[in-house]
């Protein structure tokens, strides 16, 4: 080779070098394999920085050592070999973001893989981003309804919450997440589904389901399949969260599904072992907890100043043989705000979704649950837990008493009602109506195998004959008194039993008249409760009664049980019986209490006027009972926490009140005053309250 040829080759090499090294720090690959490249010669690289290889392949700095850096490759390493040049970009790894990503399927780097062309990006966000600070966050108060009866009633999820879906393989975890996505149609929620290490056929099936139900109109799918390299499986949930943050900071509500983080942890373990990091428990590296905490902490609800959006996370974890104490499950359980545990035995027995009532919990969603749902659900969770325990203890017994038989029948009916077909989410009013019917034991006579058909027929009847009931529940999200008569009529047509607590029926003032629920539906079986403690103001004897009215034919078993109990244990002692006779047959002193000049009436008048005279306090005069609920001007006193307000008042003035949130009131602007004490006591308390509020500010 002559000198001219050598010079020509050198010039070409220098030209190529200049192309990659222009204003950049350049290193060379010293080893490569399994998606990991070790690079020497780059001394100032940052963790998470993107690097570019001379063949155009990109990677990310994942490991920094004294004389080299470890890079994960975003693609196949076939074009990388020892000596390949690598350049810094001084740019943090990120993905393109924008509104155009809605309805698309993209890979871990945000590139489209659905064959619908390029996606116009509105910006670029790093895949790793600090979670919103405490000051930027807001309490979870808005529900994110899944449409799944068993979850919305017992383990409600709020916008900004992180609710773990956990269970063995093939127990319906993905189905729960997909049904939740389907239920967000028309609710202004953007959904992002992240498939980590799934089979390509599985992802295709999921996309098909979403398209079939019109859910792709508000959903983005991030996919890193099992055939992708570990680095792409590792980065894909962070990429999906980056897009979610783009929408969140624009004030949008986002639902994130990570399916699943078990495979994500496995991918990270593979990377860590290849990077020669020290293995710990189950061969996972020591920072595997931080792996998921820095991901899930990015899900939150922002205040208006920070953007006002939210990210609700539904991470999925796969367990082995139901072992919740394994490394990854315990880690993620500790990070999230509750978990929905899907049990294999329940699934195999035909319970779909197979939600384990005892091990599932929602730690913050209850604060966001619709009042209508909270009221309708009642004691469903306790009833189910009791049923499962009773079922276990009675399976070896052949001779069961009537009460146990009825409890088992009621529990099995509840279990059947909670079964729900795939891709069939229920609306709020459908759930509320179902639960009302169930908890009032209106379906006790329905055969278990016919329960679902009965439910469907009943809901169809409500929607066709009384659509205004459903509309009002959906709009107001509560069960106001105005709906009582309508609901009673529909309940009558479906044989509902009404239980009505009317213990304040004789303590009505100002000429008002108590109207019994039973009088509104004379043909409907109704159980009305009352007692001496309130109606006759004789506390301490624990004496009350039940009035059975209406169509008793539909409640023969119930009445038989009451008669049985009354013969065994429902009887008062002799002194109490004497009290009953005197209370019911003697002078009715309560009538004198509730008229002008009467003690209860005058105490009510005094406390009402005294409270209204305090600047910043207003009240509505109660028409019955012993309680008044004043309203506080929260802006005047800068009150954001009514529980703290009650504690401060107790410490300073030794006055005990119950804060409004103690009655599930959503705003910190009410408290309860009991006006049973004498006027002198009420006067002293109101003076102290006025004095306290003159200087109190939170």
* Alpha-helix residue ranges (DSSP H) falling in 424-465: 428-439, 451-465
Determine phi and psi for 661, rounding to 5 degrees: -65, -20
Size (the chain), residues:
698
State how far the alpha carbon of 110 is from the alpha carbons of 2, 95, 113, in Å. Answer: 50, 6, 9
Q: Indicate the pairing of strand 310-319 with strand 164-168.
A: parallel
CA distance 637 to 144: 32
Report the C-alpha gap between 39 and 26 in whole angstroms: 10
CB neighbours of residue 142 within 10 Å: 17
DSSP state of 332: H
User: In angstroms, rounded to a whole number, what is the distance separating the alpha carbons of residues 431 and 433?
Assistant: 6
| Residue among 645, 621, 625, 624 nearest 634 (CA) | 645
Give dist(CA 432, CA 133) in Å, integer: 36
Q: List strands edge to edge, sheet with 338-342.
A: 105-106, 219-224, 189-196, 253-259, 310-319, 164-168, 338-342, 361-362
Q: Are strands 671-674 and 658-659 parallel, antiparallel or unpaired?
A: antiparallel
Q: Tell me which H or E stretch contains 330.
A: helix 327-335
Q: Check residue 300 and report its DSSP letter.
A: -
Identify the CA nearest to 108 among candidates 122, 91, 94: 94
- Spatial separation of the C-alpha atoms in residues 92 and 108, rounded to whole Å: 15
Q: Rounded CA gap, 672 and 602, in Å?
A: 18
Q: How many CB atoms lie within 10 A of CB 493?
A: 14
428, 370 Cβ separation under 8 angstroms: yes
DSSP string, 510-561: TT-----HHHH-TTS-EEEEEEHHHHS---SS--EEEEEES-GGGGHHHHHH
Report yes or no: 333 and 324 within 8 Å, Cβ to Cβ.
Answer: yes
Q: Which of 137, 277, 294, 363 is catalytic?
A: 363
How large is the C-alpha radius of gyration of the chain? Answer: 33
DSSP 226: T
Rounded to whole angstroms, the Cα distance separating 359 from 278 reads 34
**Has 363 been annotated as catalytic?**
yes
Inter-CA distances, 459 with 334, 434, 454, 522, 640, Å: 39, 8, 9, 24, 41
Helices of type H across 395-427: 402-417
Contact (Cβ atoms closer than 8 angstroms) between residue 609 and residue 690? no
**Separation in Å, CA 98 to CA 246, 250, 636:** 7, 11, 42
Residues designated catalytic = 363
């Amino acid at each position: 080779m002559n000198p001219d040829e050598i010079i020509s080759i050198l010039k070409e090499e220098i030209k190529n070098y200049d192309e990659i090294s222009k204003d950049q720090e350049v290193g060379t690959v010293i080893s490569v394999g399994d998606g990991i490249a070790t690079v020497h010669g780059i001394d100032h690289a940052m963790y998470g920085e993107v690097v570019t290889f001379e063949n155009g392949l990109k990677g990310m700095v994942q490991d920094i050592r004294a004389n080299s850096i470890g890079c994960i490759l975003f693609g196949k390493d076939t074009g990388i070999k020892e000596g390949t040049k690598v350049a810094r970009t001084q740019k943090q790894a990120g993905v393109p973001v924008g509104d155009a990503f809605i309805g698309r399927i993209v890979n871990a780097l945000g590139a489209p893989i659905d064959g619908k062309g390029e996606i116009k990006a509105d910006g670029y966000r790093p895949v790793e981003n600090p979670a919103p600070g405490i000051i930027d966050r807001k309490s979870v108060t808005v529900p994110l309804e899944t449409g799944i009866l068993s979850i919305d009633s017992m383990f409600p999820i709020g916008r900004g919450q992180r609710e773990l879906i956990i269970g063995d393989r093939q127990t319906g975890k993905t189905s729960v997440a997909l049904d939740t996505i389907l239920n967000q149609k028309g609710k202004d929620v953007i959904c992002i589904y992240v498939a980590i290490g799934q089979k390509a056929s599985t992802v295709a099936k999921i996309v098909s389901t979403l398209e079939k139900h019109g859910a792709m109109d508000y959903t983005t799918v991030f996919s890193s399949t099992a055939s992708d390299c570990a680095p792409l499986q590792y980065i894909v949930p962070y990429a999906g969260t980056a897009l979610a943050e783009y929408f969140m900071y624009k004030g949008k509500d986002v639902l994130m599904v990570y399916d699943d983080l078990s495979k994500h942890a496995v991918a990270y373990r593979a990377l860590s072992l290849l990077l020669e990091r020290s293995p710990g428990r189950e061969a996972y590296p020591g920072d595997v907890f931080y792996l998921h905490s820095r991901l899930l902490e990015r899900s939150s609800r922002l205040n208006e100043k920070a953007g006002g959006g939210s990210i609700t996370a539904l991470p999925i974890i796969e367990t082995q043989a139901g072992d919740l104490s394994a490394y990854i499950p315990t880690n993620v359980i500790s990070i999230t705000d509750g978990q929905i545990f899907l049990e294999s035995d329940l699934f195999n027995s035909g319970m779909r979704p197979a939600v384990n009532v005892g091990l599932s919990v929602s730690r913050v969603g209850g604060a966001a649950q619709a009042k209508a749902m909270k009221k309708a659900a009642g004691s469903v969770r306790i009833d189910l837990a009791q049923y499962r325990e009773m079922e276990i203890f009675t399976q070896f017994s052949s001779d069961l008493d009537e009460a146990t038989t009825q409890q088992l029948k009621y529990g099995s009916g509840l279990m059947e009602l909670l079964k729900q077909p795939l891709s069939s989410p229920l609306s709020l009013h459908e759930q509320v109506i179902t639960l009302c019917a169930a908890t009032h034991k209106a379906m006790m006579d329905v055969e278990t195998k016919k329960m679902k058909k009965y439910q469907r027929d009943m809901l169809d009847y409500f929607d066709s004959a009384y659509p205004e009931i459903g509309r009002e529940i959906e709009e107001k999200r509560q069960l106001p008194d105005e709906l009582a008569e309508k609901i009673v009529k529909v309940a009558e047509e479906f044989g509902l039993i009404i239980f009505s607590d009317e213990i304040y029926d004789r303590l009505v003032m100002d000429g008002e008249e108590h109207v019994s629920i039973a009088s509104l539906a004379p043909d409907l079986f109704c159980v009305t409760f009352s007692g001496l403690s309130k109606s006759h103001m004789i506390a301490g004897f624990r004496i009350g009664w039940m009035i059975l009215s209406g169509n008793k034919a539909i409640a023969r078993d119930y009445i038989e049980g009451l008669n049985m109990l009354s013969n065994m244990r429902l009887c008062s002692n002799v002194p109490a019986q004497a009290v009953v006779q005197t209370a019911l047959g003697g002078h009715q002193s309560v009538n004198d209490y509730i008229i002008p000049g009467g003690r209860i009436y005058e105490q009510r008048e005094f406390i009402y006027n005294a409270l209204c005279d305090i600047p910043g306090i207003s009240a509505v005069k109660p028409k019955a009972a012993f309680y008044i609920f004043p309203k506080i001007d929260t802006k005047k006193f800068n009150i954001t926490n009514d529980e703290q307000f009650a504690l401060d008042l107790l410490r300073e003035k030794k006055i005990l009140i119950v804060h409004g949130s103690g009655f599930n009131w959503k705003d910190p602007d009410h408290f309860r005053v009991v006006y049973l004490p004498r006027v002198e006591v009420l006067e002293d308390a109101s003076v102290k309250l006025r004095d306290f509020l003159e200087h109190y500010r939170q």
